[in-house]
Amino acid sequence: MEMLKVESLDSGYEENIIIKDLNFEADIGDFIGIVGPNGCGKTTLLRSLAGLISIINGSVKVRGKDIQGISRNEIAKRIAFVPQLMVPTAGFTVEETVLLGRTPYIGRFSFETAKDHRIAKRAIEELKVENIIDKPVTNLSGGEFQRVAIARALAQETKILLLDEPTSHLDLRFQFKILRLLRSLREDHLIIATFHDLNIAARFCRKLLLLNNGEMIAFGRPDNVFTTENLRRVYKIKLDVRKNPKTGKLRVFNG
Amino acid sequence: MSKPSNKFPLASFLVIVIVILSFLSLLIGPTKLSAAKVFSSLFMSGDPNIFSIIWQVRVPRLLLSLVYGIIIAIAGSIFLGIQGSNFFDNKIIRFYYGLSAAITAIAMIMITSGSKLNISFYGLLGSLYGATWNKIIATSIFAILGIGVSILYSKDLNALLFGEYTAKTLGIEVQRTRAILFAFALILSVALVYFCGMLCLTGLIIPYFVRLIAGVNFKYLIPVSMLTGAAVILFLDIFSRIIFPSELPIGIIIMIVLGPLYIYALRRRRLGL
């Protein structure tokens, strides 16, 4: 059974429908980039997948199970979410912040076990932040904190990782670091992230989901999604797409 | 879990302060008693009069101060956790502090003009005078409940700190958790007003300042606030008894000392610090 199946999804805030009749399926090993112009519903779609906002029609199913029918705690064991602006909180160290990812597994009447600490440690190592493990999160650079936020999501041990603009607010070097890391996590996760930058999305994602006004324009491999025709329809300006003959990667130009 | 060493010195310092203040508290009172007499009656019955002063008046008063400090710190921490520093900028809370300031001013005028405060006014202001064992048992039940709930919910309070969306994706039923915690902190507050008087809620501001030193991780903030609350209230009680042997209600002292801190907290928030 597919990891994630979205069927005729309408969602939004209260009566304000933003995402309209959206359908797609995704599986472990996919790294999907959600792209589209400002206000097209990228973040709303991601939040709907995370169960954060109300699904008005249709369904989001994780391994066949509709997330509307299970508790928030059960969702938290299946889907982790890294918001665009997770605010570092004074008084928390890197380790304590990552350990927060174990919250869904710790019962009301129990405390973190050695296992929880081990899993948090592993996430910390995977994100290569072990050198700052005891640092207060308020003293980290943007790139460091973003890695800590992702480690927190990894500690949740979910198969699905959702990230809202994981590379915004980061300088180029850190953007590439985070993206390479996400690409390496793809093997045993389904990763879905929103991106503002088309070139970055085309370069690192295996699949793209192009949104416009809450509707899916195209979904699939970057070459099939970023056609001159699709981009003109969405961005209302002429954009040229060229493929680098050596790497096979796409580049989008304003031409 | 990591670096408990950071919080340990602060906690042990507070414990030492509380122990010292406790001894001091037992030494002060209208009947002049030497330290030797106080301690001998504390552990073995000597003079029955002294014994009853110690065990029926001074010890209950000491314990009530401590329990009061603990409860106010738990309630304040929970309010801080579910509403952030917004809590102190809330209309009702602003009104409460304003009203408390007005009552304090009236009481101060009455005291300085020589008129005696009557006993019902005392109750309204908040006084630890007349602490009884029954009162201590009753308030202790609330304190124990408070400690229990704050342990059970410290994980939720921590998740809530990272924002509503993050808390939800960590599996917290945000609305329900907020409602439960709010109701609980409210019960603690009402109990305090009932047992210690109306002005005593001004102490809710204590965790706000503890947070600036100990950080907001509720696993540490609540215990450290409890110790701080106990120490502060005990200190203010002793202070008021030394300065005004004729029993100035603790509520007034708390308001005089913590009121300006409240204004500072509000200003600090407005300035976005």
* A152-199 per-position pLDDT tens digit: 999 999 999 999 999 887 788 888 888 998 999 988 999 999 999 999
Picking from B166, B172, B217 by the largest number of A CB atoms within 10 A of its own CB, the best residue to mutate is B166
Of A47, A75, A92, A112, which to mutate for an interface test with B (greatest number of B Cβ within 10 Å)? A92
Name the band, by pLDDT with cuts 50, 70 and 90, for residue A104.
very high
Tell me the whole-structure pTM to 2 decimals: 0.86
Which residues from chain B sit within 8 angstroms of residue A75, using beta carbons?
169, 171
Determine the Cα–Cα distance for residues B242 and B25; give it in Å rounded to an integer.
10
Kindly determine whether residue A103 and residue B2, on different chains, have CB atoms separated by under 8 Å: no
With beta carbons under 8 A apart, name residues in chain A contacting B163. 83, 86-87
Q: What is the DSSP string of B63-98?
A: HHHHHHHHHHHHHHHHHHHHHGGGGGGSHHHHHHHH
A47 touches chain B (CB under 8 A): yes
For residue B269, what are its two tokens? 């928030």
Q: Is the pLDDT of residue A74 over 60?
A: yes
Architecture of the B59-270 domain? Orthogonal Bundle (1.10)
Q: Where are the domains of chain B?
A: 59-270
Give chain B positions within 8 Å (CB) of A70. Answer: none
Helix (H, G, I), strand (E, B) or coil at B26: helix
Distance from CA of B216 to the nearest CA of A (A): 5
CA B212, distance to chain mean position in Å, is 17
Distance of CA A167 to the CA centre of its chain: 11
| Range B112-137 burial, b when 16+ CB lie within 10 A, else e | eeeeebeeebbbbbbbbbebeeebbe
**Which DSSP letter does residue B202 get?**
G
Q: Is the Cβ of A53 closer than 8 Å to some Cβ of chain B?
A: no
CA–CA distance, B124 with B57 (Å, rounded to integer): 21
Give me the mean pLDDT over the A215-230 stretch. 93
What tokens appear for B37 in the block? 């007499």
At residue B249, φ and ψ (nearest 5 deg) are -55, 135
Cβ-defined contact of B171 to A50 (cutoff 8 Å): no
CB–CB contact A96 B2 (8 Å): yes
CA distance A181 to A166: 11
Residues of B in contact with A156 (CB under 8 A): 170
Model confidence pLDDT, tens digit, residues A124-156: 998 889 999 999 998 898 888 989 999 999 999
**Residue A48 CB contacts under 8 Å (≥ 6 apart), including other chains:** A9, A11, A19, A55, A60
pLDDT score at B116: 67
Block residue for tokens 């503002």: A196
Distance CA B142, CA B122 (A): 23
Substitution target from B169, B208, B213, B225 for chain A, most A beta carbons within 10 A: B169
Instruction: State chain A's mean pLDDT as an integer.
Output: 91
User: Tens digit of pLDDT per residue, chain B (273 long)?
Assistant: 344 446 678 899 999 999 999 999 999 887 788 888 888 877 776 778 888 888 888 999 999 999 999 999 999 999 999 887 777 778 888 888 888 888 888 887 877 777 666 666 666 676 677 788 999 999 999 999 999 999 999 999 999 988 889 999 999 999 999 999 999 999 999 999 888 888 888 889 899 889 888 888 898 999 999 999 999 999 998 988 887 766 677 778 888 888 888 888 888 776 654
Each residue of A35-51: pLDDT tens digit? 999 889 999 999 999 99
What average pLDDT does range A68-95 have in this prediction? 90
Q: Which tokens is A195 given?
A: 């991106």
Please state, in angstroms and as integers, the Cα–Cα distance from residue B41 to each residue in A140, B22, B53, B180, following that order.
Answer: 57, 15, 9, 45
pLDDT at position A255 is: 62
Quick one: average pLDDT of A98-106? Answer: 95
Reported ipTM exceeds the 0.90 cut: no
Res B3: pLDDT: 45
Higher pLDDT, A89 or B170: B170
The span from the CA of B222 to the CA of B227, in Å, is 9
From the list B161, B165, B171, the residue facing A89 with the nearest CB is B161
Cβ-based contacts of B207 with chain A (< 8 Å):
none
Q: Which of B190, B155, B188 is nearest to B170 (CA)?
A: B155
CB-nearest to A83 from B155, B165, B171 is B165
Testing the interface with B: which of A13, A48, A86, A96 to mutate, by most B Cβ within 10 A? A96
DSSP chain A: --SEEEEEEEEEETTEEEEEEEEEEE-TT-EEEEE-STTSSHHHHHHHHTT-S-EEEEEEEETTEEGGGS-HHHHHTTEEEE-TTPPP-TT-BHHHHHHGGGGGGS-TT----HHHHHHHHHHHHHTT-GGGTTSBGGGS-HHHHHHHHHHHHHHT--SEEEESSTTTTS-HHHHHHHHHHHHHHGGGSEEEEE-S-HHHHHHH-SEEEEEETTEEEEEESHHHHS-HHHHHHHHSS-EEEEE-TTT--EEEEE-
CB contact under 8 A, A80 and B158: no
For range A64-69, the mean pLDDT: 94
